[in-house]
Structure 1
Amino acid sequence: MNQDKERLVRWIEGHQAEMIDFLKRIVQVPSDNPAGDCYPIAAFLHDQLQELGFDEVSLLEVDQNEVKAAGMISLANVLSRTKFGSGEGTCVALNAHGDVVPPGLGWSVDPYGGEIINGKMYGRGVAVSKSDIAAYSYAVLALKEAGISPQLQGEIDLAFTFDEETGGELGPRRLLEQGTISPNLAIAAGFTYSAVNAHNGCLHFEVITTGKSAHAALPHTGIDALEATTKILNGLYEYRQTLTAKKSPVAGIDHPTLVIGLISGGINTNVVPDQCTIRVDRRLIPGEDAAQAEAEFRKVVEEAVQTTEGIKLEIRKILHAESFGPVPEDSPLITALSSNWQSIMKGKGELAINGVPIYADARHFYEKGIPTIMFGVGPKRLEEANGHRADENIRLEDLVTATKIIACTLYDLLGEGRAGKD
């Protein structure tokens, strides 16, 4: 580790208490999605970044009609540009999201308290992914304030968005489509103990069966939509078993999955149900043909009720999230990250590089041909942090460590404008 990187590490260690407090205050701002009232946290972060000394910070409001169409209440994106040298050369985007799933039941602490117990901070969104917002912000601050910035050339964009839980269409996708950000490289929210170079895609379907209501005493005079839906359920569960044979070559990703997550229907106990609706999650492994997966799904559903007289069937695709990666392990971005990981995590071997079965905002950058990696604050497995569960937490040690690794990686990527010229 050279002297500049040693300065970065010392600066982060000297400001870790401030960074922890910054994260705590972010956790204390509710940003559940749904319901998706996320303008308040965006405005809060905008003000906080300005107070931290970031020069060019924008609060980018999203058209209210588009927000409502996405099923949210309010939304804005936060963008901070930091230029080094002339600003020409490599541009790196750091993207993390501040919207979170609702806390749910079972918490032993206040989900919006940011309480610290035995070296861990607890709170909804602290792992997914408010801690990444803190790490990215302080990594860039270290580059600005540790006395090494004259050595750097390029630009770092902090792109903090707030609709990942609803697909990221109005966050990172919008910023990229409109040309608001045009990075050469991107680092997206992830975990400290692995570099994620791939993730699954996803299809969501809504299937509606419509029959005819009747009195329960005369069921033969009606057409039972729930009975028809049961045939569809059986067909989908049989189809699900066949997906296990489609193995992914990407480490960390096994095979496609299918889950029937929601079901609703019926009028009353004594009425033949005239309509039933299900919603289905179909995960796509990297490289899988989404059109073929959709065609297979529709065929299974249609064949399940083709002999059921009087049933009307509607199949709606309500989400298509592309898969991400795999990004080559020898790419300059992963190479720089791996080298700095080993320098900071002395004695812990090499950085693991793998995929994950979730889908996330990293895909939006990858779709644009931007080399991307998921890396941030978190454990080896999401379950350890209780991500999306009660008592979500991160180790404060991981927060500090990840910030050091990110800062040193950015130093390499912007050092004399070398990255982007390989």
Structure 2
Amino acid sequence: MALDPVDLTSRLIACPSITPHEAGTLTLMTEWLEPMGFECHHLVSGERPDGPVENLIAIRKGAGNGPHLAFAGHVDVVPPGEGWDGDPFVPRIEDGQLIGRGATDMKGALGAFVAALDGWQQDKGTLSLLITGDEEGPAVHGTRAIVDWLEERSIGLDYCLIGEPSSQERLGDTVKNGRRGSVNVWLTLEGHQGHVAYPQLADNPLPKMARLVAALDAMELDEGTDMFQPSNLEFTAIGGGDGTTNVIPGKASAQFNIRFNDLQKGEDLVRRIEEMAEEIAPGTKVLAKISGEAFLTPEGKLTETLADAIEQEVGIRPRLSTGGGTSDGRFLHKLCPVAEFGLPNATMHKVGERAAVADIEKLSMIYRRCLEIFFA
């Protein structure tokens, strides 16, 4: 491979692509992919406040019939935060580590995959790269828009590999073949403000909200499955009043998140919450946003190909996992089987994010091996 995956990754890191801005990353990828025979489409979607978002769809077809494999990823990164030893968008190598925002999540995988393509001849089938600038943000006008673009043109996918940092302790130890779903919920209950000495003249919403919070916290959703941990509900904020000691507040609020497995559906969970709220604290307003449903890709050609490529390059066979947060797999799994494999994830979103140079190079070799197996 003539292209250096570490150099490509460094050039991507140097673009300050804080979500949802691509900051030149998609131009770079287009410059790399078009000479390899990819037809590149820049898709701009959405308006303020969540847009516009620029996405890249690159497609290359072989001469013969074969599968359509998509590699999906994102160029946007989370804000770097304070405390970096140097500029987070000026990549540098220290002690064998490439340091910079996005090194792990997930510009390292993008650089590795593009380098894996260099000099590789595709005789059959279709290969595409689906790259968004809106994965770390609202994820409204990113991969969702790409999926719509593909469906409008009746472009089907057979398999999708996402370059998210899936590895845990070492490169190659984990492939993610599913993700939990996620729903965020906001509760608001109106009362009547008044003086604490005259409760009969007020309507305190706090005790009602407290009872509802306790009931939701005690709710057991399920016991999990062989591939998923139990669904869990976690409160992230509870509020009411302004701290004044002699005023009964006129409003109480709470918010929480549910991460759920494939035994649950987002709409069913929201309906259950609404019923509980009406029973325990009548009048509570429930606002819910389902970020994505749980999905699971059964073991098959995609997971076996990844496992074989990893084993051939690093000598270990990965375990399958559905742990962690959500990913854009929640949109892509509607089109085809999805699996995620990328760098070790210990430093993603952290100050001083970094990836081992050797891991980026080896990841590129694994991706190359995967392509050779898929299109043999």
Normalised by the shorter chain, which TM-score bucket?
A: 0.7 to 0.9
Quick check: 1:328 aligned with 2:298? yes
SS at 2:177's partner residue? strand
Residue 250 (structure 2) pairs with residue 262 (structure 1): no
Output the amino acid matched with 2:203. I
Greater share of residues in strand? 2
Q: Distance in 1 between matches of 2:201 and 2:79?
A: 43
Q: How many residue pairs were aligned?
A: 363
Q: Which residue of 1 aligns with 2:18?
A: 32
Question: Retained in 1: the 8 A contact 2:45–2:51?
Answer: no
Matched letter for residue 280 of structure 1: F
Paired with 1:400 and 1:53, the residues of 2 have a C-alpha distance of 19
Q: CA deviation at 1:391?
A: 2.5
Amino acid at match of 2:241: G
Q: TM-score, normalised by structure 2?
A: 0.86
Determine whether 1:168 maps to 2:115.
no
| Residue 280 (structure 1) shift | 1.4
Which has a greater percent of helix? 1
Match of 2:280 in 1: 304
The match for 2:338 is 372
Unaligned runs of 5+ in 1: 1-10, 144-148, 307-311, 416-422
Give the Cα separation in 1 of the matches to 2:52 and 2:238.
Answer: 28
Give the Cα–Cα distance (whole angstroms) in 1 for the partners of residues 197 and 84 of structure 2.
46
Structure 1 111/223 Cα, relative in aligned 2: closer, same or farther at 3 Å?
farther
Question: Which residue of the partner structure matches residue 411 of structure 1?
Answer: 372
The verdict on how the C-alpha distance between 1:225 and 1:63 changes in structure 2, with shifts beyond 3 A counting, is same
Question: Secondary structure at the residue paired with 1:165?
Answer: coil
User: Unpaired segments of 5 or more residues in structure 2?
Assistant: none
In structure 1, C-alpha distance between the alignment counterparts of 2:304 and 2:178, rounded to whole Å:
16
In the alignment, which of 260, 270, 280 is matched to residue 294 of structure 1? Answer: 270
State the one-letter code of the partner of 1:76: E
1:158 alignment counterpart: 129
- 1:361 Cα offset (Å): 0.8
Aligned residue number for residue 8 of structure 1? none
Letter in 1 for 2:146: L
Distance 1:235 1:115 in 2: 51
SS in 2 for 1:76: strand
**CA distance change for structure 1 residues 26 and 99 in 2, over 3 Å: closer, same or farther?**
same
Aligned pairs for 1:225-304 (under 5 A) are 225-239=205-219, 242-243=220-221, 246-250=223-227, 253-267=228-242, 269=244, 271-304=247-280
The one of 49, 57, 62 equivalent to 1:84 is: 62
Cα drift, residue 189 of structure 1? 2.4
Tell me what 1:389 maps to.
350
Partners of 2:3 and 2:70 in 1: CA distance:
23
Note the alpha carbon deviations across 1:162-194, whole angstroms, 9 max, x for none. Answer: 222345342222222232553221101233422
For 2:241 and 2:85, locate their aligned partners in 1 and report how far apart those are by CA, in whole Å. 37
1:63 aligns with 2:46: yes
2-side partners of 1:391 and 1:260: how far apart? 29
Residue identity matched to 1:365: L
Alignment counterpart, residue 111 of structure 1, candidates 88, 110, 118: 88
Specify the code of the residue in structure 2 equivalent to 1:24: S
C-alpha distance 127-226 of structure 1, shift in aligned 2 (>3 A):
farther
Which of the residues 154, 163, 167 maps onto 1:189? 163
Using structure 1 for the length normalisation, give the TM-score: 0.78
Q: Is the Cα contact below 8 Å between 2:183 and 2:288 reproduced in 1?
A: yes
User: Once superposed, what is the RMSD of the aligned Cα atoms?
Assistant: 2.6
CA shift, 1:320, in A, is 4.0
Change (3 A) 1:281 1:152: same
Which residue of structure 2 lines up, in the alignment, with residue 338 of structure 1? 307
Tell me, in whole angstroms, the C-alpha distance in 2 between the residues paired with 1:263 and 1:110: 37
Superposition deviation, residue 323 in structure 1: 1.0
